[in-house]
Amino acid sequence: MAGIPGLLFLLFFLLCAVGQVSPYSAPWKPTWPAYRLPVVLPQSTLNLAKPDFGAEAKLEVSSSCGPQCHKGTPLPTYEEAKQYLSYETLYANGSRTETQVGIYILSSSGGGAQHRDSGSSGKSRRKRQIYGYDSRFSIFGKDFLLNYPFSTSVKLSTGCTGTLVAEKHVLTAAHCIHDGKTYVKGTQKLRVGFLKPKFKDGGRGANDSTSAIPEKMKFQWIRVKRTHVPKGWIKGNANDIGMDYDYALLELKKPHKRKFMKIGVSPPAKQLPGGRIHFSGYDNDRPGNLVYRFCDVKDETYDLLYQQCDAQPGASGSGVYVRMWKRQQQKWERKIIGIFSGHQWVDMNGSPQDFNVAVRITPLKYAQICYWIKGNYLDCREG
């Protein structure tokens, strides 16, 4: 009987890969697809020894396994997918657990399982690429920084960026807190920073709205209660599986009281509005500034989006989002469809080419992350 779950897993993977669901309600209005999603549920939890928190924080990840490398590798089996989606939880007191999961299909037309297990080897380079003219925009002034969607971007005390995805939860890249072998220095006392206006003597100053000088901002920090990292990242650490599982969820000790951005299943690149993605992050070369950018998607695999958005270290962990029409509510809605991870050198027809890479939120990853947030799979049936 062990082969039956594997066959179902492969069937739903193929259904999703060929695009069973039409993404459009009208040719001129890109619409969020309606997915039937699998369920990822905890099965058992094991206590682990406390980590040593000895890794150096890496603000970017490198890999030389490009689109063809990923597309040419075998699909993970059902058992492998369960291993990759099992996860490690780190608590503020330094304790740690490992949770094994089960994957279930609860309907006859479930959303597919989009996973690729790819061998890749790291390749370092000087710093992340700026592609031609620097097309990034620094966001100034509280009227922009404190308003949606820019207000959903937060800074991690380890140096990366994160995105608010619930009242107490932040989505970021796994490498921002874990190097694949152990947790980075500072993770046990991990904090999340929110940009807020910096007033002198408690006053707002004179005529802030018309001032030509950018308003001074400061970070207000909230401690992290616990973190979740998929075992696909810990087992692979970007050298065996690539960046496919480079994502993590942080739970704050208290609500942040800001509007957040929901996560969504990543549609195929050709169905994105204009073929573009957007994200904002705290690039290191512009300290204290939130930097916004958008660009076209150049290629994709089941787990990754390849693009040439200008970015520098520090932007890792940013939530990649798009704005599409929500048919049920009859309104436009932005959703996080990926996490900005790092860069890859890709052999394009014998010529090396550099891409920045985002991890796609696939149906299984959505089911996992949503369960981490909600704690109830019934609230995670629509991506």
HSE-CB of 243 using CA atoms within 13 angstroms: 37
Q: Is residue 111 part of a domain?
A: no
Span 353-373, pLDDT tens digits: 778 899 999 999 999 999 999
pLDDT digits (tens, 9 = 90+) for 266-321: 999 999 999 999 999 999 888 888 999 999 999 998 899 998 888 888 999 999 99
| pLDDT of 69 | 76
Domain count, the chain: 1
123, part of any domain: no
Tokens of 220: 């207000």
Where would I find the H helices in the chain? 3-17, 67-71, 78-85, 142-145, 231-236, 363-374
For the CA atoms of 145, 226, 174, 333, the dihedral, rounded to the nearest 10 degrees, stands at -40
Sorted by sequence, the CB contacts under 8 Å of residue 97 that are 6+ apart come out as 45, 46, 47, 48, 88, 89
Answer for the pair 227, 177: CB distance below 8 angstroms, yes or no.
Answer: yes
Q: Is residue 381 part of a domain?
A: no
* 53 in any annotated domain: yes
Neighbours of 212 (CB within 10 A): 4
Q: If you ran DSSP here, which 8-state letter would residue 60 be given?
A: -
- At 221 the pLDDT is 97
Q: Which residues of 307-339 are buried (b: 16+ CB within 10 A; e: fewer)?
A: bbbbbbbbbbbbbbbbbbbeeeeeeeebbbbbb
232-271: pLDDT as tens digits: 999 754 444 557 999 999 999 999 999 999 999 999 999 9
Distance of CA 51 to the CA centre of its chain: 24
Q: Computed over its alpha carbons, how large is the radius of gyration of the chain?
A: 20
Cβ proximity of 327 and 31 under 8 Å? yes
Sign of CA dihedral 363, 368, 373, 378: positive
Distance between CA atoms of residues 148 and 260, nearest Å: 8
Predicted pLDDT of residue 6: 54
Contact between residue 315 and residue 283 where contact means Cβ atoms under 8 Å apart: yes
Question: Beta 248-252 vs 87-91: how paired, if at all?
Answer: unpaired
Does a structural domain hold residue 206?
no
CA distances from 194 to 74, 155, 186, 216, 237 (A): 42, 7, 18, 13, 29
Residue 126 lies in a domain: no
Alpha-carbon span 231 to 97, nearest angstrom: 12
Domain that holds residue 89: 30-103+138-198+211-374
307 sits in which H/E element: strand 304-307
- Classify burial at 343, counting beta carbons within 10 Å of its beta carbon; exposed 0-12, middle 13-18, buried 19 or more: buried
Q: What is the pLDDT of residue 47?
A: 97
In a domain, 366, yes or no: yes
Token pair for residue 363? 């149906």
Q: What is the model's pLDDT at position 241?
A: 56
Sign of CA dihedral 239, 245, 246, 250: negative
CA distance 145 to 154: 11
Q: What is the chain's pLDDT, residue by residue, as a tens digit (383 residues)?
A: 445 455 445 445 434 433 334 444 345 689 999 888 999 999 999 999 999 898 887 766 766 677 777 777 777 889 999 999 999 999 999 999 999 999 998 754 433 333 333 333 333 333 445 445 455 556 666 666 778 999 999 999 999 999 999 999 999 999 999 988 899 999 999 999 998 887 655 545 444 444 444 567 889 999 999 999 999 999 754 444 557 999 999 999 999 999 999 999 999 999 999 999 999 999 988 888 899 999 999 999 889 999 888 888 899 999 999 999 998 889 999 999 999 998 766 666 667 677 889 999 999 999 999 999 999 998 998 87
Q: What is the pLDDT of residue 313?
A: 85
In sequence order, the β-bridge partners of residue 340 are: 358
CATH code of residue 171: 2.40.10.120
CA distances from 370 to 52, 229, 241, 367 (A): 29, 14, 23, 5
pLDDT at 328: 84
Catalytic residues: 175, 240, 316
Q: What is each CA distance from 144 to 49, 128, 203, 305, in whole angstroms?
A: 44, 26, 20, 28
Instruction: Tell me, yes or no, whether 5 lies in a domain.
Output: no
